[in-house]
Amino acid sequence: MSINRYLQKYRSALILIIILILLPLFSSEYIKVVAMQIFIFGVFAISYDILLGYTGIASFGHAIFFGTGAYVSALMMLKAGFSFWATIPFVVVSCAGIGLVIGLLTLRFATIYFTIVTLALGQFCYFLLTNALTYQYTGGDDGLHGLPMVLQTKNQMYYLALAFLLAAFFIAKKIISSPLGKTLVAIRENEFRAKMIGYNVLNYRLIALVISGIMAGLAGSFNAAMLRSVFPGFMGASTTIDVILMTILGGMGSLLGPVAGAALVIICQQYLSSYFEWWLLIFGVIFVLVVLFLPQGLISIVYRFRKKNTSGGLN
Amino acid sequence: MTSQLFVNILLSALSLGVIYFLLSSGFALVFSLLRVSNFSHGSLIMWGAYLGIYLVKALSSFSLGLIISAVMIGIILALVEFFLFRRLYGGNPLFELLLTFGLIYILDEAVKLVWGAAIITVDKPSFLQGTVMIYGEPFAILRLYIFGLGAFVCAGLYFLLNKTKLGLIITAGIENKEMVRALGININRVFTFVCWLGGFLAGIAGFVLAYFNGLSPEMGTNQLLNVLVIVVVGGLGSFMGAAIAAVIMGLAEAFIGFYLPELAVLSSFIVMFIVLSIKPSGLLGEE
């Protein structure tokens, strides 16, 4: 493919990336913070989509990984004096371990078991963090604060978060289009058939869960580094609910969808929640409508529109 | 521990178990027939609580408030089945899951809109106040009333499922839906009825819970968690299993709460992890 064709194909993506790179030059501090939140939750939503959209199993406790990543990083930085980058391997190992344990316990059965157990486990972890017994380590409801700076300036943090999102996006894209990704989709479409062909369904689901868990954990520890504090809410139901909203509204089964969903949900949280007390009710209605009539999410409207335009030109 | 104290804790534990049975029976019933895990069950319980207490005040009648609110909660779930679930049967069960998850927002936010986000305390009617002496220890009349209601619901469900033609169709449908359809029975109508019944049970459970814990907009989510843990421990799809698990949860919570109060909140999870690691499909779940 010549450079020209390549540029044409990814024109809108390139324009978007350039806008995002230039954004800190003319935006306020507040917008930068909101944008960083979107980048980090975008990664979190992509990780969720690998599980929900591509593998077809719903976790209702995905915040377990996000919270684990955040707390592992925070605790090691504060109590053991590790640098942020040195905590990353531990985040990866602990999230992979949690994913393996949950998966081995529940994925052998109907996937609804996995959904319910992750929901319960998420609440369990939340109680554990806010319990009096662990207060001296986790700071209870107050969380942990004053994490050391990873980079010197806000702008550098912004670019780190952007790079994190882009890296996660491309890695996820590689995984999805690899034989592994194709197998996951095959299992999602027809578990029985995949089994008959000879795929070990349990193993593939475990791999998906571990990959998704690691990615969510990394998003959590980047979130901790960016806010320089962690809260038990990272582990709580509200974080899980946020990521489900982002993925479903944006569009599961695509990688852009969850990121767009993250942007939508976070912007609404920041700007709408102060005007409408009942914005969540509207979100609930939209959520139900999307599930019923637009299973590919809001991004599928964009895709449909674009397909109409381009197919006219190509034919 | 004296035997008096032991009996007292045991009775509290059992009444807690009865509450858990009321909470989870509707969910278990709907799941066993429709295979839909209704995540909005907790929110329906909350609606039962708020609406029931509101109606008791408005109609100044305890039993009318209970019955009308439970019937109305049933109608909500029946309408949800008729207009929403039906669109998704035969497709990926993931979407049913997500749909009921989305309903949580709508129901929970609607409660906040109608009754506000503050915690509301509920006054017991005079005939539920006070205590009786059982085995030399005082025991709240409210808990006795819960025993009575639990027994009544249990007997009603037993009668419906085992002694009526409709119950026969429901139990047959749980075993094999296609066969029931092939015999010329319109099972979709039975689905709607079972959803109504599930909502009805949620309404009763919420009403009881309101007198026990008061009203708060978080009660739906908290109860959903209890319900899910109970049905998983009992074995998904097994109605009996859920009942047994409810009693076990009540026992665990009361006794762990007595000996290790810090762990009381975690008691149901502890039970769940023990049961699932021994028998991952739950107590009476099919392998």
pLDDT tens, position by position, B171-202? 888 888 888 889 988 888 999 999 999 999 99
CA of B222, closest CA in chain A: separation in Å?
9
Whether residue B106 and residue A56 make contact (CB cut-off 8 A), yes or no, is no
d(C-alpha A301, C-alpha A303), whole Å: 5
Phi and psi at residue A10, to the nearest 5°: -105, 25
- Domain residues of chain B, as ranges? 3-217
Can you give the pLDDT at residue A311?
45
pLDDT tens, position by position, A89-143? 999 999 999 999 989 888 887 778 888 888 888 888 888 888 777 787 888 788 8
pLDDT tens, position by position, A129-145? 887 777 878 887 888 88
Quickly list DSSP for A137-205. Answer: HH-GGG-EE-PPPSSSSHHHHHHHHHHHHHHHHHHHHHHHHSHHHHHHHHHHH-HHHHHHHT--HHHHH
Contact (Cβ atoms closer than 8 angstroms) between residue B47 and residue B60:
no
Res. A314: pLDDT tops 70: no
Res. A309: pLDDT tops 60: no
Supply the angle between the helices A237-250 and B93-115 in degrees, to the nearest 10. 120
Whether residue A124 and residue B281 make contact (CB cut-off 8 A), yes or no, is no
Q: Residues 36 to 65 of A: which have CB under 8 A from any B CB?
A: 52, 56, 58, 60
Whether residue B101 and residue A52 make contact (CB cut-off 8 A), yes or no, is no
Quickly list DSSP for A199-268. Answer: --HHHHHHHHHHHHHHHHHHHHHHHHHHHTEE-GGGGSHHHHHHHHHHHHHH-TTSSHHHHHHHHHHHHI
A31-314, which class in CATH?
mainly alpha
Check CB contact of A272 with chain B, cutoff 8 Å.
Answer: no
Check CB contact of B67 with chain A, cutoff 8 Å.
Answer: no
Whether residue B269 and residue A278 make contact (CB cut-off 8 A), yes or no, is no
Top residue of B38, B86, B105, B253 to mutate, by most chain A CBs within 10 Å, is B105
Q: Which of A110, A124, A283 sits opposite B105 (nearest CB)?
A: A283
Can you give the pLDDT at residue A92?
96
CA of B12, closest CA in chain A: separation in Å?
24
Check CB contact of B87 with chain A, cutoff 8 Å.
Answer: yes
Can you give the pLDDT at residue A73?
94
Q: Which of B112, B225, B281 sits opposite A119 (nearest CB)?
A: B225
Least reliable range by pLDDT among A153-157, A214-218, A272-276, A298-302: A272-276
Quick one: pLDDT band at residue A76, thresholds 50, 70, 90? very high
Which residues are paired to B139 by β-bridges? Answer: B132
Q: Which of A60, A109, A237 sits opposite B280 (nearest CB)?
A: A109
Whether residue B84 and residue A281 make contact (CB cut-off 8 A), yes or no, is no
Contact (Cβ atoms closer than 8 angstroms) between residue B31 and residue B231:
yes
Q: Which of A109, A131, A292 sits opposite B262 (nearest CB)?
A: A131
3-state secondary structure of B208: helix
d(C-alpha B260, C-alpha B255), whole Å: 8
Whether residue A287 and residue B113 make contact (CB cut-off 8 A), yes or no, is no
- Per-residue confidence in pLDDT tens, chain B, 287 aa: 678 888 888 888 899 999 999 999 999 999 988 888 899 999 999 999 999 999 999 998 888 999 999 999 999 999 999 999 988 887 788 888 899 999 998 999 899 889 988 888 888 887 778 787 777 777 788 888 888 899 999 899 989 988 999 989 988 888 888 888 899 888 889 999 999 999 999 999 999 999 988 899 888 888 898 899 999 899 887 888 899 999 999 999 888 888 888 777 778 888 888 888 888 788 887 75
Q: Residues 168 to 227 of B: which have CB under 8 A from any A CB?
A: 221, 225
Q: Residues 97 to 116 of A: which have CB under 8 A from any B CB?
A: 105-106, 108-110, 112-113, 115-116
Distances from the Cα of A178 to the Cα of A10, A58, A172, A173, A181, angstroms: 20, 22, 10, 8, 5
d(C-alpha B235, C-alpha B253), whole Å: 19
